Amino acid sequence: MTPALEITGLSVSYGGARAVDDVSLTLRGGQVVALLGANGAGKSSLLRAVIGLVPVVAGRLVVNGRDLAKLPPEQRADAGLGYVPEGRRVFAGLTVRENIEVVVDAAARQRAGRVADMLALFPDLAAKSTERAWRLSGGQQQMLAIARALARRPRVLLLDEPSLGLAPQVAATVFARLRAIADDGVAVLLAEQNAARALAIADEAVVLAHGRIALAGAAKTMSADDDALMALLA
């Protein structure tokens, strides 16, 4: 089976300093990979490089067998990448339904079907479908941001700190949905500081330190209580 996402030797620099240095990893459909690391480790820079928001200085980025490294973000999205940035960034003045509809480039019936699918996946949003996004709770806004990305039917979903600012119970609901999304065949790359919660739903985990991979392996073999892991996350 062709991997959903292959990152090979990816490097990103800001002002001459390497934020991401020679990172390689592979995701397959149905798999959750947790991207862990302390603040400044390079997690967000890696995701932003994959979606095309920051330039890379080296490396390959292949989705469904196609190298996307030189394409702009909108073409990467068309090729199968979905992105949920840190801070949600929903369209505050639009309703829940409009937030989802606006990203679907399809006929009216197809747009309606995508909206229905997303509201079924996130029941908390179904009851709020006509509410303006600014009136939603933080957790509901995070669900909406994920639904908006999924409405384009990506092969790979990139998420940057989805639990940030959420109450534990709400974060648990969001992470349960992410596991369900992966179980439905989407590859999920999840940058997250809450290591315990990320490892609980992940298949594999990659820990970044100073922009490089410091540790990688099966999530079930890692523990947020492990002293070596905690030292990398501190």
The pLDDT tens digits along the chain (234 residues) read 689 999 999 999 988 788 999 999 999 999 999 999 998 899 999 999 999 999 999 999 999 888 998 899 999 999 999 999 987 789 999 999 999 998 887 777 777 888 899 999 899 899 999 999 999 999 999 999 999 999 989 999 999 999 988 889 989 998 999 999 999 999 999 999 889 999 999 999 999 999 999 999 999 988 766 777 777 776
Q: CATH number of the domain that 61 lies in?
A: 3.40.50.300
According to the model, what pLDDT value does residue 128 have? Answer: 93
Q: What pLDDT is stored for residue 69 in this prediction?
A: 86
Looking at the domain assignment, is residue 81 inside a domain?
yes
CA dist 53 and 50 (Å) reads: 8
Q: Residue 191 in 3-state DSSP?
A: strand
Position 109 scores a pLDDT of 77
Q: Which residues contact 57 (CB under 8 A, 6 or more apart)?
A: 11, 12, 13
Selection from 207, 210, 204, 192 nearest residue 20 by Cα: 210
> CB-based contacts of 151: which residues, under 8 Å, 6+ apart?
100, 103, 104, 114, 115, 117, 118
Residue 104 has a pLDDT of 83
Structural domains in the chain (count): 1
Residue 101 lies in a domain: no
Residue 27 near residue 4 (C-beta atoms within 8 A): yes
Residue 83 lies in a domain: yes
Q: pTM of this prediction?
A: 0.92
Residue 104 lies in a domain: no
Sign of CA dihedral 91, 92, 93, 96: positive
For residue 213, what are the β-bridge partners?
A: 208
Determine, yes or no, domain membership for 75. Answer: yes
- Is residue 107 situated within a structural domain? no
pLDDT recorded at residue 45: 95
Residue 7's nearest CA partner among 67, 57, 48, 53 is 67
Query: Which domain, by its residues, includes 57?
Result: 5-90+145-233
- Residue 170 corresponds to which tokens in the numbers above? 């709400």
